Structure 1
Amino acid sequence: MRHTRQARLAAVATALIAGPVALCAAPASAVTGAPVTDGTFAATAQIIVGDDYQHGCSGVLVDTEWLLTSASCFADDPATSLAVPAGKPALRTTATIGRSDLTGTGGAVRQIVELAPRTDRDVVLARLNRPVTNVTPVALATAAPAAAQQLSFAGYGRTKTEWAPLKLNSGSLTVDSTDATTATFTGTNGAAVCMGDAGGPVLNTSKQLVALNSRSFQGGCFGIDATETRTGGVAARVDDLASWIASKVDAVRQTDFNCDGVEDVAVADPGATVGGDSGAGLVRVVYGGGKGTAQIDQDLDWVPGGSEAGDGFGQALDTVDYNEDGCTDLVVGIPSEDLGSVADAGSVQLLFGAPGGLGTGSVKATVYEQGAGNGSLAASTPESGDRTGEAVAAGTTAAGEPYIVIGVPGESLSGNARAGMAVYVHGTTNTVVHQDSTGVPGGVEAGDRFGSAVAADGNYIAVSAPHDGIGGDADAGNVAVFRHTLNSEGRPTPVFGLDQDVETVSGGAEAGDVFGSSLALVAYRPSGSATASDSILMVGSPGEDLTIDNADKTDAGMVHAFHITAAGAVSQTSTYHSGTSTDDVAGTAESGDRFGSTLTAINTKPRSVSTTSTLKMAVGIPNEALGSTDNAGAVLTFSLLGARGDNDRWLEVGDGDGIPGTPGANQYLGRSIHFTGTHLYVGMPYGPSSYGALYALPLSNVTAGGTVAPVTTYQPGTGGLPAAGARFGYAAR
């Protein structure tokens, strides 16, 4: 006679505390079933915790970058608690996915770099350091397991005769009962869940994932007392977790320097005085969850170089997990850095995150500057005014490879002063690209300043030369677009160029347009596409002259948006500028506004089909006059899909959207803007505070029709930040 559900759970709980259970131990497989030879369990993963193989368990791929597995695999003492901290696992953890025979080479091997645990059941989502592209993730069931239902399970745990078999095995079970988070079961034909099977998939007859192995009596498993014959156990339900999984999987990666699962923020103050050196610059870090603040500058022992007057440390910032360890790394541009006697040669530093915060790991920093390191940079010679790091962009390719793009707009090439170049950093090396590189549009000319702005997403890279002359029009500007794929020269592959004399681009090139002064690039998934393989490129032309209501508006400014398909075809989708008396776009375009001086964009759900609510752009208008207040500045937000006037929102100081105070002359609101997955950062380095400030506006505050939510303010003298600085908020990530 079968045990009642209550007695069964009590017995299994006793087993969990007092004896071996199907938790993380030596890897192995199910007791009876034969090794898996078909594709039923192709998404199953073996998980090994610790460099010295402390224990192992099983898991299953539910997304190209995420596994579902058992929380008990990562708990300190699963016999007493299944609580698992979010963020980076405490021990190095390796997952082998899609390799039913561990002696083979199929599937993929990845590191688990982030955990997102459930608090109500034995389940955790585990993020991989790179996507798995040759294994199809399993689909989740949409119905709960039912009593008497026949299910199948698999794992890399022990068998009846082996402690650590090298093949994935499976068995079958019958559901006894279910509750909100679990299902009790009995193994059929002597099959039982053994140690090492925890986290392995439990599938229904449609091969959909309904649960994960959690714990069992382990009757007949290798090493279990022969008197234990029960094959029952408990599985953790996952059929009801689709929305939770989607919320984690389909989210923008947050900045997390100490890899604890809580968002951090880095705020630059390149005008700050450090050690008596005016304008040396620094970056202040605020660790989320109340874990304190830190000041990063070149007078710290672990930061390369030394603070010097006018360095401007932090003038450009970006973030990427470059070493793929689950901790965000900070990219810092120092364009005014002197290299020896070479003034303003510039430098970029990659500062590595770690569980203790930036600079606390064994590897602390890497420097990218001409004449040092390896690759193209080592073969280059620093020159006065190169300004390496005036612009930086960082991220990961669609294949998951980290990269950094560095603008060097002051580089002289073939005797052409300030022709400019860009540096593409990938892996352990780097390569240079410029307008004399094969396939790059335009040609090297003095003063082009190629590399003044750079932008990149997982699909493409954009580099601008805003001072390039087009058809005799000085400073008209152009933009070159590349793939991350390297060509025969080892450089990013050029795809096309854009300027306003190209048919693809509306208007015409004119002197002083500075087309490309600002750039933003965001991955885009159109309807019918399986992934965000397309991109939308935004190009700012703050010097664009407009005719508004039959009146000429010099330097009113404009932004052009382009759709780039996965095949590399480009088409213009829209132009953006402040409003007129005959449209419904907010604001009024005026001479000298310089609309488009800065740009930022975000896809808030990068895995989903893009919509008007998920593709957002913000435009800085730093020279906007508000009434008689010159250069007060403003920000205008749009959706990148749909009609401009239906999806725009105007932001200015004191208008109720979250930026406090009243507009002031020469505050230049809009000089510093950056989207995250949850906020728009608006910096006020020239604001009313003598130190500067940064405001984190929730997305609802900056979305047409959205409600105003509380704003987070970062300002020296508050929140643990020292009351010091000069241009706090100049950049933020």
Structure 2
Amino acid sequence: MRRETLRRAVAASALAAIILTPLGVPAALAVVGPVETAEADFAVRLAIGTDEATNRACSGALVAPEWVLTAASCFADDPAAGHTIAAGAPPAATTATIGRGDLTTSEGQERGVVTLVPHESRDLVLARLAGPVTTVAPVAIGTSVPAAGEQLAVPGYGRTATEWSPLQRHTATLTAGTAVGGDLPLTGVGEAAVCAGDTGAPVLSGTGSGTELVAVATRSWQGGCFGADPAETRTDAVASRVDDVRSWVDATTTTAHIVDFNCDGVRDVAIADPDATVAGRARAGLVRVIYGGGAGTTEITQESPGVEGGPEAGDQFGFSLATYDKDLDGCTDLAVGTPGEDLTDTAGAAVADAGWVSVINGHRDGVAVHTGGTTYVQGRGDGLLGTAGREAGDQTGYAIAAGHTEDGTPFLVIGAPGEDLAGLADGGVVYYVQGDRPSTGFNQNTTNFGSDVEAGDRYGSVLAADSHLIAVGAPDEAVGSSAKSGLVHLVTHTIGSDGYPVYRSGLQQGLERIPDPAEAGDEFGRALDLVEYRPAGAAGPTDSILAVGVPGESQTNVSTGVDRPAAGRVAVFHVPASGSWTQISDIGQTDAAVPGDAEANDRMGAAVALTNTDPDAVGTAGTVHLAIGIPGETRNGVTRSGLIQVFSPLGTLAASAFELVPGTGGIPGTAVAEEQLGRSLAATSTHLYVGVPDGPSPYGVAHAVPWANVTGGSAGPVTTYQPGVGGLPAAGVAFGSAIR
């Protein structure tokens, strides 16, 4: 580690010496000053690039657990020519080291930089880290410009008066001049100076707990710095102010991760049609990607680069979708489940519907443009997946979930509900891949998992996950003598000493804290979603909100008093960081606060989608929203046209209720019989995605609805994705079946 740090620092300093002389030219900087103490552990060293000839080093400041503020010119192709850079993934691999005053130690934490958000006019950029920093407190952003004459501290890692590539952080004291627009002039006190090696060093006002970040160093004369012209004695420097762009910092650092396959900083979307005919093969399946910002579309099949296999009848490529940054390069990677994939076993015998999952790498050129994807399949690789046998009907990839743990480690969860266990058909198993660890997994017979495998459970047929938990649905599970009553398991991302993820808790109806009894056909857990949540008094989003769809639940019609089978309902739970979960909402159309009335086969809860529009803030009825699909709803005489209801599970149901159908919320058109609106839902922090694979288009359609449209905010435009429009081919069968 020490050798690599030295090499990067030397290369960066050599580059800086070439491009830096006049004050007016952006340059790599460092500071002449004493060795720094732990008071500035929020100072960051950035190692940019791996090429010996072009790599460089910069400094920055941790301003939020996942964000570093530094100079945009650090990432410019030619810093001497200006600081304009593109948003999105950094142009070269970048590693941030935080909380390590002495680079020869292993103190602090290292994180990759995955996304850049440059300021529109200043030499400033916010760099998003691959995971949050949990051991160092971020520095506060200043609220006012320093007064002329105020002494400021500038910690950095670059050259000193006597060292070309120091291994310890140093701090210089400089005096503020009178700010001119966004520039803050600085002058070194005594022999202190800002030198080549660390563009982006934080400029600090105050001391101790009152320290504030007021500017970021960008240019300097380098008087007295090692390697500088001995005739140069000026210690003046210029920094970019940050006190007056605090709103930009706050707005950026509270944004959620977006799906960005081509790394341009604009939201993309993937929409599956698993029943599409490909190369003449029915139900082979495909996924269509629509790039944000008008950057075009692409179609992914099993003939695409980076995707193993070829299209075969019944594969259903795209039956399930998930997104995450598997390789932490800043480009979103797409996981695609193909549960109908036919394979061969170790003896070469055909195995129908064994299934697999393809992870297709994102890239600046787009997704599925280059080779190098990963296929997760039984009997290949290390860990549990590698030792698993392939059997007909395993349906690996029937359900998948992906994301990043609390420390930013990528994970992928794979359900194989058709797996036979201990001679019990379709008992079901879940495989789990976290970072570079060997694959592992679990089933109901795993030690301490609190239930037993039974034939037909199909454990793992429904999955959801956030950074804290994995939720596993087994809606076909029999509870007592009640067939298909259903259960849900909550599992943590912690790998136990036995090599398996640690079980947290189980939920099923009839428990003391879930008053509704377990009944045959309830299908508790047929739909699941999880979202991170910050309760009052917590420092961050430590908890989770879980929504559980129970579409087979019988309900009593309020108007007639007659029992309506499969009317459905949704149960919502608060799962704290520790301790027991609690049910916070029970939503059904028998409740006077819920619009409509329970009807047979409405199947309320067949799909659910949760969002938290501001997860870093304390959760409220205005930030946590739940969309519930009721695809069997017959509305105004239009048979099974479907309905979506939106509520806040943290607020009053009646006050937050909204009914979304064509003609409301910005969705175009009118209700169509058998289109089953609400069958396919997905959520981001900004939009509710509604898939309508059964109509009104003959190929299916999908809509992106701003949450504001259905939660009482200022309505925004709805984006409709339809084959035959906007560059999408006019073909398909069930476009919109899955969306990410």
Say if 1:680 and 1:702, in contact at 8 Å, map to a contact too.
no
1:34-82 CA distances to partner (integer Å, 9 max, x unpaired)? 111x222111111122113522111111122111111111112232321
How do 1:43-62 residues align onto structure 2 when only pairs under 5 Å count?
43-52=42-51, 54-62=55-63
Shift in Å, 1:111: 1.8
Partner residue, 1:706: 713
Three-state SS of the structure 2 residue aligned to 1:40 is helix
Partner residue of 1:566 out of 577, 580, 590: 577
How do 1:132-151 residues align onto structure 2 when only pairs under 5 Å count?
132-151=133-152
Q: What amino acid is aligned across from residue 556 of structure 1 in structure 2?
A: A
Work out the CA distance in 2 between the residues paired with 1:587 and 1:371: 50
Shift in Å, 1:364: 2.4
Say if 1:623 and 1:631, in contact at 8 Å, map to a contact too.
yes
Work out the CA distance in 1 between the residues paired with 2:181 and 2:687: 34
Are 1:729 and 2:728 an aligned pair? Answer: no
How do 1:530-609 residues align onto structure 2 when only pairs under 5 Å count?
530-549=539-558, 550-578=561-589, 583-609=592-618
Aligned residue pairs, count:
710
Partner residue, 1:172: 173
Cα distance change of structure 1 residues 369 and 568 upon mapping to structure 2, 3 Å threshold: farther
Work out the CA distance in 2 between the residues paired with 1:498 and 1:100: 47
Partner residue, 2:118: 117
Cα distance change of structure 1 residues 707 and 578 upon mapping to structure 2, 3 Å threshold: farther
Say if 2:477 and 2:487, in contact at 8 Å, map to a contact too.
yes
Partner residue of 1:670 out of 662, 668, 678: 678
Work out the CA distance in 2 between the residues paired with 1:380 and 1:502: 34
Partner residue, 1:235: 239
Shift in Å, 1:652: 0.8
Partner residue, 1:716: 723
Work out the CA distance in 1 between the residues paired with 2:178 and 2:595: 59
Q: Which moved more, 1:138-147 or 1:522-531?
A: 138-147
Work out the CA distance in 1 between the residues paired with 2:407 and 2:275: 38
How do 1:325-474 residues align onto structure 2 when only pairs under 5 Å count?
325-340=329-344, 341-361=350-370, 364-428=372-436, 429-474=438-483
Work out the CA distance in 1 between the residues paired with 2:372 and 2:638: 46
Cα distance change of structure 1 residues 22 and 153 upon mapping to structure 2, 3 Å threshold: farther
Q: What amino acid is aligned across from residue 46 of structure 2 in structure 1?
A: I
Say if 1:587 and 1:650, in contact at 8 Å, map to a contact too.
no
Partner residue, 1:81: 82
Cα distance change of structure 1 residues 436 and 519 upon mapping to structure 2, 3 Å threshold: same
Three-state SS of the structure 2 residue aligned to 1:278 is coil
Work out the CA distance in 2 between the residues paired with 1:358 and 1:689: 26
Work out the CA distance in 2 between the residues paired with 1:180 and 1:674: 44
> Taking structure 1 as the reference length, what is the TM-score of the superposition?
0.94
Shift in Å, 1:659: 1.6
1:566-595 CA distances to partner (integer Å, 9 max, x unpaired)? 114111111112365xx2322322221100
Three-state SS of the structure 1 residue aligned to 2:249 is helix
Identical aligned residues as a percent: 49
Q: What amino acid is aligned across from residue 425 of structure 1 in structure 2?
A: V
How do 1:169-208 residues align onto structure 2 when only pairs under 5 Å count?
169-205=170-206, 206-208=210-212
Partner residue of 1:519 out of 507, 528, 531: 528
Three-state SS of the structure 2 residue aligned to 1:178 is coil
Partner residue of 1:623 out of 610, 632, 641: 632
Shift in Å, 1:178: 1.2
Work out the CA distance in 2 between the residues paired with 1:673 and 1:183: 49
Partner residue, 2:13: none
Q: What amino acid is aligned across from residue 361 of structure 2 in structure 1?
A: F
Shift in Å, 1:390: 1.1
Say if 1:685 and 1:726, in contact at 8 Å, map to a contact too.
yes
Partner residue, 1:11: none
> Taking structure 2 as the reference length, what is the TM-score of the superposition?
0.93
Shift in Å, 1:517: 0.6
Three-state SS of the structure 1 residue aligned to 2:639 is coil
Partner residue of 1:294 out of 298, 310, 334: 298
Partner residue, 2:492: 483
Work out the CA distance in 2 between the residues paired with 1:621 and 1:372: 40
Work out the CA distance in 2 between the residues paired with 1:197 and 1:492: 42
Cα distance change of structure 1 residues 492 and 82 upon mapping to structure 2, 3 Å threshold: same
Work out the CA distance in 2 between the residues paired with 1:505 and 1:240: 51
Cα distance change of structure 1 residues 204 and 707 upon mapping to structure 2, 3 Å threshold: closer
Work out the CA distance in 1 between the residues paired with 2:456 and 2:66: 44
Shift in Å, 1:301: 4.4
Say if 2:27 and 2:219, in contact at 8 Å, map to a contact too.
no
Shift in Å, 1:153: 0.9
How do 1:297-316 residues align onto structure 2 when only pairs under 5 Å count?
297-316=301-320
Q: What amino acid is aligned across from residue 225 of structure 1 in structure 2?
A: D
Are 1:218 and 2:226 an aligned pair? Answer: no
Work out the CA distance in 1 between the residues paired with 2:481 and 2:576: 31
Are 1:318 and 2:322 an aligned pair? Answer: yes
Work out the CA distance in 2 between the residues paired with 1:169 and 1:360: 45
Work out the CA distance in 2 between the residues paired with 1:354 and 1:579: 49
* Structure 1 residue ranges (4+ consecutive) displaced by more than 3 angstroms after TM superposition: 15-25
1:276-310 CA distances to partner (integer Å, 9 max, x unpaired)? 11110000111122222111101224310110011
Q: What amino acid is aligned across from residue 124 of structure 1 in structure 2?
A: V
Shift in Å, 1:334: 0.8
Say if 2:464 and 2:528, in contact at 8 Å, map to a contact too.
yes
Shift in Å, 1:197: 3.0
Q: What amino acid is aligned across from residue 627 of structure 1 in structure 2?
A: N
Three-state SS of the structure 2 residue aligned to 1:177 is coil
Partner residue, 1:9: none
Partner residue, 1:4: none
Q: Gaps spanning 5+ residues in structure 2: where?
A: 1-17, 345-349
Partner residue, 2:38: 39
1:248-271 CA distances to partner (integer Å, 9 max, x unpaired)? 222221000111111111110111
Say if 1:21 and 1:217, in contact at 8 Å, map to a contact too.
no
Shift in Å, 1:16: 8.5
Q: What amino acid is aligned across from residue 255 of structure 1 in structure 2?
A: V
Three-state SS of the structure 1 residue aligned to 2:195 is coil
Say if 1:198 and 1:213, in contact at 8 Å, map to a contact too.
yes
Say if 1:546 and 1:552, in contact at 8 Å, map to a contact too.
yes
The CA RMSD measured in Å over matched residues stands at 1.7
Say if 1:478 and 1:515, in contact at 8 Å, map to a contact too.
yes
Q: Which moved more, 1:556-565 or 1:228-237?
A: 228-237
Say if 2:319 and 2:339, in contact at 8 Å, map to a contact too.
yes
Shift in Å, 1:546: 1.3
Say if 2:533 and 2:615, in contact at 8 Å, map to a contact too.
yes
Shift in Å, 1:199: 0.7
Say if 1:29 and 1:167, in contact at 8 Å, map to a contact too.
no
Three-state SS of the structure 2 residue aligned to 1:113 is strand
Say if 1:258 and 1:357, in contact at 8 Å, map to a contact too.
yes
Say if 1:40 and 1:207, in contact at 8 Å, map to a contact too.
no
Q: What amino acid is aligned across from residue 80 of structure 1 in structure 2?
A: A
Say if 1:35 and 1:168, in contact at 8 Å, map to a contact too.
yes
Work out the CA distance in 2 between the residues paired with 1:638 and 1:570: 20
Work out the CA distance in 2 between the residues paired with 1:708 and 1:578: 26
Work out the CA distance in 2 between the residues paired with 1:170 and 1:348: 51
Q: What amino acid is aligned across from residue 725 of structure 2 in structure 1?
A: T
Q: Which moved more, 1:179-188 or 1:321-330?
A: 179-188
Three-state SS of the structure 2 residue aligned to 1:611 is coil
